[in-house]
Structure 1
Amino acid sequence: MSFGGYLREAIHSAGFPTPTHFARAVGTDPSVVLRWLSGEQRPTIRSIERIAPVLGRSINELVLAAYPDRLEGSASPAPATHPLAVELARMLADDSPIPAADRRALETVLDRMIDPYRKVLRRRRSA
């Protein structure tokens, strides 16, 4: 898959309705994102560092997708982060537009909901 196709899928999976919405979220001009999507240009490493967390992907995964011709070996990319995890990360981030008190309440509720599963996941990793 080309980087443009990969990026289009990642933008969609992260919940952005359009590439322009994504560009605004990462502080990049929409024309730059469109050049990435068309294959006319590839993102710089600095851009990859900025967009990876917003897409819920690792920096390594984006570098592999953008520059497969420059990397030796066939390292497998990290599994993609679930779209809900990406959305929650944006909601709970320090720069989120959600009021701090609401973010803390959301954290508390989520923490209580996932707590029973932590023990199960710890057991599975040690097996």
Structure 2
Amino acid sequence: MSTTWGPAAGAALRAYVLQHAANADAGLQRVADISRATGTKPSVYSKWFAGTEQPSVSSLEKLAPVIKAPLPELLVLACRVRAEDLGMESAPEAPEVLGHPLARELDAMLAEDSPLTAAERSEIEGFFDRYLEPYRRAMKTKSRRRAS
């Protein structure tokens, strides 16, 4: 990766930030969500991700804990420091997004801080328990066959 800020660096930072945010388990699916969580205007992120404005160190310091990303990696991706200067062999890559987006959304819906009522969450859980029962039975049978 180049240490020069521009569109390619902005795109790499965008992929890294959005994928870390998705894995952060905090309902951060979109730039608007990240913007709200950090108190930074969405237009600032748009400029970063387009490579037209380089993120400041203080902005990256606010962002890192929100998306649960190591600050040194963000500094490298934002071209504030070279990977070699931090003892890294290469620039970090965006992590693989964990789980299916629907599973992450369902987790958010069923969380205690969900806008849904306890009764609504219970109804959804009951639906999925009934819907998944045939699958669960099939998986138990399959695991018993492997064990024998």
Aligned counterpart, 2:110: 92
Q: After superposition, what is the alpha-carbon deviation per residue over 1:30-68, rounded to whole angstroms, capped at 9, x for unaligned? A: 338717645525432x2223xxxxxxxxxxxx55x7468
Gaps of 5+ in 2: 1-10, 78-82
CA offset at residue 113 of structure 1? 1.2
Opposite residue 2 of structure 1, the aligned amino acid is A
CA offset at residue 21 of structure 1? 4.0
Q: Evaluate the alpha carbon distance shift between residue 15 and residue 21 of structure 1 in structure 2; reply closer, same or farther with a 3 A threshold.
A: closer
Answering whether residue 55 of structure 2 is matched by residue 40 of structure 1, we say yes
Percent of aligned pairs sharing the same letter: 28
Answering whether residue 127 of structure 2 is matched by residue 117 of structure 1, we say no
Aligned counterpart, 1:23: 35
User: Greater RCO between the two (CA within 8 Å, min separation 6)?
Assistant: 2
Opposite residue 128 of structure 2, the aligned amino acid is L
Larger Rg, first or second structure (1 or 2): 2
Gaps of 5+ in 1: 50-61
Q: Evaluate the alpha carbon distance shift between residue 77 and residue 102 of structure 1 in structure 2; reply closer, same or farther with a 3 A threshold.
A: same
Aligned mates of 2:17, 2:125 — CA distance in 1: 30
Corresponding residue to 2:123 among 105, 113, 116: 105
Aligned mates of 2:94, 2:39 — CA distance in 1: 30
